[in-house]
Structure formats: structure tokens, C-alpha cells
A = this chain, B = another copy of it.
Amino acid sequence: MSDTPFYLIDETRLLENMRKIERLRVRSGAKALLALKCFATWSAFDIMRPFLDGTTSSSLFELHLGREKFGKETHAYSVAWSDNEIDEAIGYADKIIFNSLSQLDRFGDKAAHIERGLRLNPRFSTSGFDLADPARPFSRLGEWNTERLEAAMGRISGVMIHYNCENSDFALFDHQLGRIEAEFGDILKRLDWVSLGGGIHFTGEGYPLDDLADRLKRFSDDFGVQVYLEPGEAAITQTASLEVSVLDILDNGKKIAIVDSSIEAHMLDLLIYRETAKLPQNGAHEYQIAGKTCLAGDIFGDGKFESPLQIGDRISIADAAGYTMVKKNWFNGVAMPAIVIRRADGTIERIKDFTYEDYLSSLS
């Protein structure tokens, strides 16, 4: 079991998502930028590059990564740029999107030679989590006041409107885009581009992709804007697993299998959003799958297995690409999962191992 834990990226599945994105782009005319905040494993960029228009970012380092490792069109967004990073940021960016009018006021002149945009917050969203809801009360994410938006006109050529969150409901998307058209149409008509952000789950099973494409095309035509999408989760959903091994089996009134990983260290969103991992559910043998950190609640969830689990058994935790590798950390000093790609021809390529020296240099 010495090769676990590792994140296993499946090239074939990644290509399936990429082809859906390509189909959407061709039919709608929208451009698609990978949202690096969700997935930034750059060894997979060669697979993705042909199907995407570029990347978007949420910090200077992500921007730098997008420019250096992905190339193509590179959008720069940050909730707040600092004085000491703005020049470098502008040097990498094709477009820079400011979060607030005050940031545009502060740095807009410096960025006058590239395209500038502003984040528009429509004050509604599809997020079911207050934590992740950009429309929450007093949200700091973007501008909505019409006077403030007007004050930006002339300096900006577009806006970014990120308000979806794993939205798999096309009718809701259609309805909310209609609200944006009604409320902000006068402004949108005077712009060259509109990014609708990420969070549209259009690569999911059964999603009406052509309806989305047609709706985006109509929006684009009606307002005379180039539409951008910023798929994060949609780009990589269902394309990776976290492969772990069983280290110990306990029965304290419930059968528990302890594995060589941790939700806090390796799949942090399970802990933050109090969700459970996607575990096998195809057998009669039920176990709670728990991590190996000291955290009492380091629990992936309950799985059902075809045979009783044994020490050394491999378990595959599904859907482990998004917001996992970008957030992994050295909590408890638990060994960090390697990064592995299963190529379309079946070859297994071990891209990166993390060592004790990496742990040591994460501190000082």
C-alpha cells in the first residue's frame, strides 16, 4: 500500500468534459476560461488547452501560473490587488477585472493599455451555502449600485458576474440571466464583453447543453457582447479520485476503516461544508471511512462494500478533482497524496510525490 494516497486524474474523463465545453463554445460563441481557483494541477493543462480559451484567476500567483503554464487568454481577477503586486499582475493579464470601484480608481490608469473590467454583483445567486454565497448580506464581492457602475463606464470594457454555484438547473439559469438582462441591460449594451463566471454545472449528466448554448448566444446577440464562462468544477467534475488504503479496522459499535488520508488535509471542503465523500455503495458490508489525523471528526463518510474490508485494501473516493489539490495542507504532518494521471491509453503516470522535505519547508 506504499503508493497511496494519491489523486488519480483520468485523462479520458477529462477529455469527455473538454468535448462538452468545446461543443458549448462552438454553438454559443462563448469563450471558456478555466477557473484556477478550483483546479490548478498544471500537469493536466496539456490535455485541457486545446478545448479552452485560457484561464481566469483569483490572485497574482494563479494569474502567473495561468500565463506561464496554460497560456492563451489570461484573465486577472482579485478581490483586492495590493500596490506591490499590481504591476506584475498587469504584465501577465489580457484583461484585469477589479472587484470594486475603489480598486478601479486606484489602479485603473496603470492598466489602461489592457482591457479592464469590473465585477458586477447582481445580488442574487444559486448558492445554498451562506459561506459561499456572493449575494450574502454586505457581500464584498463586486458592485451593484447603478451610480457606482456608471462611474466605471468609459474605463471598463466588460463586467464579470459570478453568481452561480454548482447550478445544474437550466431553467433557474435562464430565469436569473433574464433578471440580469432586465436590471443591468442598459449597462451591458455599452460593453464589449460579459463574463458570467463559473458555477454552471453544464458538463453534468443530462444537462441541456444545447439549450444553454442557444441561451448564451441570444444573450450575446441581444447585447452585442462576447460572452465568457469560467468553468471550474464543470471542467473537472468526475475526472479524478482520491485513492487511499485501509490502515486499521475498528468496531466501536460501528465498523470503522481508517485510511491513509484525511478530509481536513486532502479534501478540505468536506469538512468546511460538512459534506460526505462519494464512497462505494455497492455491497452489503458497511463501514465508516475515517481519516488518520487526530481530528475526531476526520470522517469521509459511510461506504458499502462487496466484501468485508481488510487492512491494505484500496478504496477509491470519487470526484476528487475540484477544490482538493488546491487546498491540500500539512495538517498533522500526514503524508500528502501524490498526483497521478491515468492516460487515455491506460498508462499510469506518477507526476508528483510530496516528501518529508516538502513538509519541512512548509514551515521553517
Contact = CB atoms under 8 A, between A and B. Distances in A.
For this complex, into which size category does the number of interface residues on chain A fall?
35 or more
Given A40-B363, A138-B252, A256-B138, A1 B351 contact: no
Interface in A240-264: 245, 247-250, 252-254, 256, 258, 260, 264
A279 interface: no
Contacts of A42: 360, 363-364
Contacts of A103: 248
A61 B133 CA distance: 37
A65 B359 contact: yes
A292 interface: yes
How often does this chain occur in the complex, in copies? 2
A311 B139 CA distance: 19
Interface stretch (A46-54, A150-158, A213-221, A327-335): A327-335
Nearest to A39: B363
Contacts of A250: 100, 102, 140
Interface of A: 1-2, 36-37, 40-43, 57-65, 78-85, 99-100, 102-103, 106, 127, 130-134, 136-141, 162, 245, 247-250, 252-254, 256, 258, 260, 264, 268, 271-272, 288, 290-297, 311-312, 325-335, 339, 351-352, 356, 358-364
Contacts of A332: 37, 58-59, 62, 326
A356 B260 contact: no
27 contacts: A2-B84, A36-B333, A37-B333, A42-B360, A42-B363, A42-B364, A59-B334, A60-B335, A61-B333, A61-B356, A61-B359, A78-B292, A79-B294, A83-B312, A99-B248, A100-B250, A102-B250, A127-B296, A130-B296, A131-B295, A133-B297, A139-B296, A141-B296, A268-B329, A271-B272, A327-B329, A339-B363
Of residues A132, A247, A328, A364, which shows the largest number of chain B Cβ atoms within 10 Å of its Cβ?
A364
Contact of A1 (B37, B82, B247, B254): B82
B134 A296 contact: yes
A336 B311 CA distance: 38
Given A138-B252, A288-B138, A332-B59, A132 B297 contact: yes
Contacts of A351: 364
A260 to B, nearest CB: 6
Contacts of A100: 248, 250
A290 B80 CA distance: 11
Sorted from nearest, which 6 A-B pairs have the closest CB atoms? A352-B364, A80-B247, A61-B333, A131-B297, A62-B333, A329-B329
Contact of A258 (B1, B140, B253, B311): B140
A250 B43 CA distance: 38
A290 B333 contact: no
A260 B82 contact: yes
